[in-house]
Each structure stands twice: as C-alpha cells, then as structure tokens.
C-alpha cells in the first residue's frame, strides 16, 4: 500500500510545472518576444525557481524514503482518516501514541481545508494562488469542475466585490482577468455602471464553490472526498451485503446491523458469498479441511474422508473398485 502518494504527486507536479516554465521562456526568446537582456534577467530568476524546486523535491523524496519501513497500515489509515475529516488534534495524538508521526500529511490537509473555509468566508486569494500553482494539472483533469475551477473562483470573487459595493475594483478585475465576460456576471454589469443598489442580488454564499475546490484539490493528490479508511470499510461491507440481508437481518453482520448508518449508503453485492459444506459431516470446507470431489459429483472434506472407511468406493463402477477423488481448489 502506497503511503506517500501526496509526496509523489508533489514531485510530479513540480517537475511538470518547472519544465513548462523553461519551455515557455525559451520559446519566447526564440520567437523574439523578449530581448537578450530580458532573457538573461529571466534566466537568473529561473535559476532561483529551479533551485527552490529542487529543494522542495528533495524534501518530499526524504519523506518518501522515511516511510519505507514496516508499519501497521491500518494505524496509518486511522490517523489519515482523522486528518481527512479535519480532526488534526486527534490525528497528532494518535501519531505520537503509535510513533507514526512521519506518516502524517496534516500540512496538506490543513492548507486545503483552510482554503475551503476562506472561500466560504468570501476570500479567494489563496484559492486562486493554489490554482496558479497547479494550473497545468487542473487543465489536464478529465472533470469539468477541475477545468473550470479557476474561472468559477474568479466569478465568485467578482460577485463578492459587487456585494461589498467595490464597483471600481470589480470593473478593473473584469478587465484584467477575463478576455470575454462570462454569462454568469453579465446581469451584474448594468448595476456596476449605474452604481445603483445591489440589494436585489442576494448573496447565495460560496459553499458550492468551496466544496468544488475541496473535491478538485483532493483529486489532484489522489485523494477522494471519503478517506481511504472509509472506502475500505465500504468495500468490505459491500462484499457481505446481498439481497438476503433484506429478509435475514443479523445484528452480528456489519452489512445488516442497523447500528451502522453507513449500511444504507452501501450498494448491494450482486454475488452471494457461499461456503462449501462436506456432504458427509456437514462441516465447512476450507484450507484446513480441503474439499475433494468424487466421480458421482459429491464433495467431501479431508477430515470426513480420513475418518470414513467406504467413502473412496466409486458409485458408478459396478465392480466397487477403489476410486481416488480429485482435490478442489477454492478461488
């Protein structure tokens, strides 16, 4: 189980962004868009950027190396779950208790959840900075919410300026950030020009955009809205939740028990989980009591065969000759 996906994605993103920056600078000079003096000055700045990028990649590489040792994956997933739901104090205490602090990614989760809360409060600077840092990755996302995230944040920022009666700043922001005026803000333009009251445009809040940002940020770093611990619990419950659960509910089964609210959200498994029972003894057959099939199609367990005197007699043969069964393998 990979416990360093965030660090691996960070290294990949830094490499991709740095390469794009270098290609863009060289292309601008080759096409004559910048002169030689500007090119040399930008090369000096590029050296600083590359140097800081190398330092950042080395830090992430050291973190990856420190996580190669043996560890209880379940312990790490529990700590990660606390971080995923924003319980950083509990995650820190658990990490110290189990000596797994070096597996903590609280810095990532704190930043992501902090930006989400800022968006809800009407502040978009850090969110737009995040989009700028991961511009290439967001554009390459296969979901519409990732591709449009930066533009949606800019629209929300413009609307927030309007509600704050900052009409001059809002107009300046439109001219600077948008080549074409988006449809979502065209209805606001007459109000900006006339500087009239903005009360007829009630603020609907920014919760939807905040959750959109959170979803995209987690996907960028190979995380989901649900923690990996929650996902594995759901997969385990799905394996046992069949249509028999409707008629035969058991308090001992995690897929049936009403104490688990999660059971309502888990889909039914199309395949029944079955067990093999020995025809002779009725005992369950598994690796410790391996099943054997005879010519007549009946299956007996190893324990029953060892204790029986006649089970190896073939029923099809008229001579009652000895027949040895074939071993079954459970997949």
Residue 98 lies in a domain: no
Last residue of a domain, one of 68, 96, 127: 68
Q: What is the domain range of residue 127?
A: 105-225
Residue 81 lies in a domain: no
Do 160 and 257 belong to one domain? Answer: no
φ, ψ of residue 72 to 5 degrees: the values are -80, 110
Q: Looking at residue 322, what is its pLDDT?
A: 59
Residue 307 lies in a domain: yes
Residue 84 lies in a domain: no
Residue 31 lies in a domain: yes
Alpha helices in the chain (DSSP H): 5-30, 36-66, 73-84, 88-98, 106-120, 125-133, 135-139, 144-147, 149-163, 167-177, 183-186, 189-194, 207-220, 228-240, 244-247, 302-307
Nearest to 2, CA basis, from 237, 225, 221: 221
Looking at the structure of the chain, the number of domains it has is 4
Do 246 and 220 belong to one domain? Answer: no
Residue pair 322/291 in contact (Cβ under 8 Å)? The answer is no
Q: Looking at residue 252, what is its pLDDT?
A: 67
How do the pLDDT tens digits run along the chain, 331 residues long? Answer: 578 899 999 999 899 888 888 998 999 988 888 888 898 998 999 999 999 999 999 999 999 998 887 789 999 999 999 999 999 999 999 999 999 999 999 999 999 999 999 999 999 999 999 999 898 888 888 788 888 999 999 989 988 888 787 888 888 888 888 888 787 777 777 766 665 555 555 556 789 999 999 999 999 999 988 899 988 887 777 666 666 666 666 666 666 665 555 556 666 655 555 678 888 888 888 878 889 888 888 888 988 888 886 556 555 555 555 567 888 876 5
Condensed to tens digits (0 to 9), the pLDDT of residues 70-106 reads 789 999 999 999 999 999 999 999 999 999 999 999 9
Do 250 and 213 belong to one domain? Answer: no
Do 51 and 133 belong to one domain? Answer: no
Do 111 and 41 belong to one domain? Answer: no
Condensed to tens digits (0 to 9), the pLDDT of residues 182-195 reads 877 777 777 666 65
What distance lies between CA 238 and its chain's CA centroid?
19
Do 110 and 221 belong to one domain? Answer: yes
Do 210 and 233 belong to one domain? Answer: no
Do 204 and 243 belong to one domain? Answer: no
Do 248 and 297 belong to one domain? Answer: no
Last residue of a domain, one of 166, 199, 225: 225
Do 255 and 211 belong to one domain? Answer: no
Do 233 and 306 belong to one domain? Answer: no
Q: Looking at residue 313, what is its pLDDT?
A: 55
Nearest to 1, CA basis, from 238, 228, 235, 220: 228
Q: Looking at residue 325, what is its pLDDT?
A: 81
CB atoms near residue 107 (< 10 Å): 10
Which residues fall within 8 angstroms of residue 150, CB to CB, at 6 or more apart? Answer: 128, 131, 132, 135, 138
Q: Looking at residue 297, what is its pLDDT?
A: 81
Residue 90 lies in a domain: no
What distance lies between CA 195 and its chain's CA centroid?
45
Residue 186 lies in a domain: yes
Q: Looking at residue 267, what is its pLDDT?
A: 62
Last residue of a domain, one of 264, 287, 322: 264
Do 243 and 287 belong to one domain? Answer: no
Give me the sign of the Cα torsion angle 249, 251, 253, 258. Answer: positive
Residue 99 lies in a domain: no
């Amino acid at each position: 189980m990979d416990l360093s996906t965030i660090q691996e994605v960070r290294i990949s993103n830094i490499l991709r962004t740095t390469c794009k920056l270098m290609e863009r600078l060289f292309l601008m000079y080759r096409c004559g868009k910048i002169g030689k003096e500007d090119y040399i000055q930008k090369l000096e700045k590029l050296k600083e950027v590359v140097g800081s990028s190398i330092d950042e990649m080395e830090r992430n590489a050291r973190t990856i190396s420190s996580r190669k040792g043996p560890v209880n994956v379940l312990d790490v997933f529990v700590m990660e779950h606390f971080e995923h739901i924003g319980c950083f104090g509990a995650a820190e205490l658990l990490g110290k208790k189990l000596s797994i602090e070096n597996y903590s990614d609280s810095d990532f989760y704190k930043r992501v959840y902090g930006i989400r809360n800022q968006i809800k409060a009407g502040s978009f600077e850090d969110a737009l900075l995040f989009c700028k840092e991961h511009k290439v990755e967001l554009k390459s996302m296969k979901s519409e919410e990732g591709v449009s995230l930066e533009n949606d944040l800019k629209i929300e920022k413009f609307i927030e300026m309007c509600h704050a009666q900052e009409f001059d700043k809002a107009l300046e922001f439109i001219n600077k950030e948008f080549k074409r005026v988006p449809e979502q803000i065209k209805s606001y333009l007459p109000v900006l020009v006339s500087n009239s009251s903005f009360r007829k445009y009630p603020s609907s809040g920014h919760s939807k955009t905040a959750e959109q940002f959170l979803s995209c940020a987690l996907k960028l770093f190979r995380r989901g809205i649900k923690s990996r611990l929650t996902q594995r619990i759901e997969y385990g419950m799905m394996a046992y939740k069949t249509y028999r659960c409707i008629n035969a509910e058991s308090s001992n089964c995690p897929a049936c028990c009403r104490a688990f609210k999660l059971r309502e959200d888990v889909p039914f498994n199309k395949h029944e989980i079955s067990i093999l029972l020995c025809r002779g003894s009725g005992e369950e057959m598994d690796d410790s009591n391996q099943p054997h099939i005879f010519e007549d199609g009946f299956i007996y367990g190893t324990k029953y065969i060892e204790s029986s005197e006649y089970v190896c007699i073939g029923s099809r043969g008229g001579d009652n000759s000895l027949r040895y069964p074939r071993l079954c393998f459970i997949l």
